[in-house]
Amino acid sequence: MVLAQLGGSISRALAQMSNATVIDEKVLNDCLNEISRALLQADVQFKMVRDMQANIKRIVNLEALAAGTNKRRIMQQAVFTELCNMLDPGKPSFTPKKGKPSVVMFVGLQGSGKTTTCTKYAYYHQRKGFKPALVCADTFRAGAFDQLKQNATKAKIPFYGSYMESDPVKIAVEGVERFKKENCDLIIVDTSGRHKQEAALFEEMRQVSEATKPDLVIFVMDSSIGQAAFDQAQAFKQSVSVGAVIITKMDGHAKGGGALSAVAATKSPVIFIGTGEHIDEFEVFDVKPFVSRLLGMGDWSGFMDKIHEVVPTDQQPELLQKLSEGSFTLRLMYEQFQNILKMGPIGQVFSMLPGFSAELMPKGHEKESQAKIKRYMTMMDSMTEAELDSTNPKLMTESRIIRIARGSGRPVRDVMDMLEEYKRLAKIWGKMKGLKIPKKGEMSALSRNMNVQHMSKVLPPQMLKQIGGMGGLQSLMKQMGSKEMSGMFGGMGGER
Ligand X SMILES: Nc1nc2c(ncn2[C@@H]2O[C@H](COP(=O)(O)OP(=O)(O)OP(=O)(O)O)[C@@H](O)[C@H]2O)c(=O)[nH]1
**Minimum CB–partner distance for residue 496 and ligand X (Å):** 22
165 vs 325, beta carbon nearer ligand X: 165
193 vs 494, beta carbon nearer ligand X: 193
48 vs 218, beta carbon nearer ligand X: 218
Note every long-range contact of 303-306, with CB atoms under 8 Å and residues 24 or more positions apart, other chains counting. Answer: 303/349, 303/352, 303/353, 304/437, 304/438, 304/440, 304/443, 304/446, 305/440, 305/496, 306/346, 306/348, 306/349, 306/352
185 vs 204, beta carbon nearer ligand X: 204
**Minimum CB–partner distance for residue 374 and ligand X (Å):** 25
Check: CB of residue 17 under 8 Å from CB of residue 31: yes
Cα–Cα distances (Å) from 184 to 96, 116, 179, 420, in that order, read 12, 20, 5, 49
**Minimum CB–partner distance for residue 5 and ligand X (Å):** 18
**Minimum CB–partner distance for residue 115 and ligand X (Å):** 3
209 vs 275, beta carbon nearer ligand X: 275
**Minimum CB–partner distance for residue 271 and ligand X (Å):** 14
CA distance 440 to 307: 10
Tell me which residues touch ligand X (CB under 6 A). 108, 110-116, 138, 141, 144, 147, 193, 248-249, 251-252, 274-277
112 vs 486, beta carbon nearer ligand X: 112
226 vs 430, beta carbon nearer ligand X: 226
Measured from each CB, the residue nearest to ligand X is 193
34 vs 251, beta carbon nearer ligand X: 251
Query: Exposed e or buried b for every residue in 218-235, given b needs 16+ CB within 10 A?
Result: bbbbbbbbeeebbebbbb
**Minimum CB–partner distance for residue 178 and ligand X (Å):** 22
CA distance 385 to 485: 46
**Minimum CB–partner distance for residue 249 and ligand X (Å):** 4
Cβ atoms < 10 Å from Cβ of 88: 17
Check: CB of residue 297 under 8 Å from CB of residue 461: no
CA distance 93 to 91: 7
Nearest residue to 199 (alpha-carbon basis) of 236, 145, 167, 172 = 236
Check: CB of residue 80 under 8 Å from CB of residue 487: yes
- How are strands ordered across the β-sheet holding 270-274? 159-160, 132-137, 186-191, 102-108, 216-222, 242-248, 270-274, 282-284
**Minimum CB–partner distance for residue 137 and ligand X (Å):** 11
**Minimum CB–partner distance for residue 297 and ligand X (Å):** 24
Nearest residue to 324 (alpha-carbon basis) of 335, 313, 316, 314 = 316
221 vs 349, beta carbon nearer ligand X: 221
Check: CB of residue 222 under 8 Å from CB of residue 204: no
Length of the chain: 496
Pairing of β 242-248 and β 270-274: parallel
